[in-house]
């Protein structure tokens, strides 16, 4: 498996630690979107795409986020201790949508994205800079992988 394209969209500078979003393509045939680039205490790192975990209201069965105190549909008060904890004792509120299986793959993805992020930061300093678009993939954008 090889990374064939990385697209980085920089975030507008704010006090927030989110520096941008990334889309990465593997072997010209598989795309992972919404990878976050975050400025952490030890430098920039990558956070894989995730979704908020939800559960059902015991009364009407409508889905609600785990932090919700009341049902969005019927208004029933929800049990605040209805969700699980991580091994570190924190609430597990999100679940990865896509993620690497081993440390070697994670390191390869992180290094590739961080390098592309720094290159995009350099390009953004140039006159006439136009930010990359992350949402305009079509079938005609890719060549068939070579055997």
d(CA 81, CA 97): 25
* Per-residue model confidence (pLDDT) at position 53: 87
Report the predicted TM-score, pTM, of the whole model to 2 decimal places: 0.73
- With a cut of 70, say whether residue 84 has pLDDT above it: no
Helix (H) or strand (E) holding 33: strand 30-40
Mean pLDDT, residues 81-88: 72
Summarised one tens digit per residue, pLDDT across range 100-147 is 999 999 999 999 999 999 999 999 999 988 888 777 655 545 454 444
What's the pLDDT band for 92 if we cut at 50, 70, 90?
confident
Mean pLDDT, residues 45-51: 93
Summarised one tens digit per residue, pLDDT across range 9-26 is 998 877 789 999 999 999
Q: Which domains does the chain have, with CATH numbers?
A: 3-49+97-141 (3.30.1120.40), 50-94 (no CATH)
């Amino acid at each position: 498996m090889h990374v064939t394209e990385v697209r980085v969209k920089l975030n507008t500078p704010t006090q927030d630690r989110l520096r941008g979003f990334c889309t990465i393509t593997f072997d010209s045939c598989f795309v992972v979107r919404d990878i976050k680039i975050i400025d952490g205490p030890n430098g920039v790192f990558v956070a894989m795409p995730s979704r908020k975990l939800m559960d059902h209201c015991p009364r009407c069965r409508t889905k609600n986020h785990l932090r919700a105190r009341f049902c969005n549909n019927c208004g029933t008060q929800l049990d605040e201790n209805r969700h699980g904890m991580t091994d570190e004792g924190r609430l597990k509120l999100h679940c990865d949508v896509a993620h690497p299986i081993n440390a070697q793959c994670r390191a390869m993805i992180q290094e590739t994205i961080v390098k592309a992020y720094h290159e995009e930061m350099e390009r953004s300093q140039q006159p006439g800079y136009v930010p990359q678009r992350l949402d305009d993939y079509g079938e005609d954008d890719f060549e068939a992988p070579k055997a």
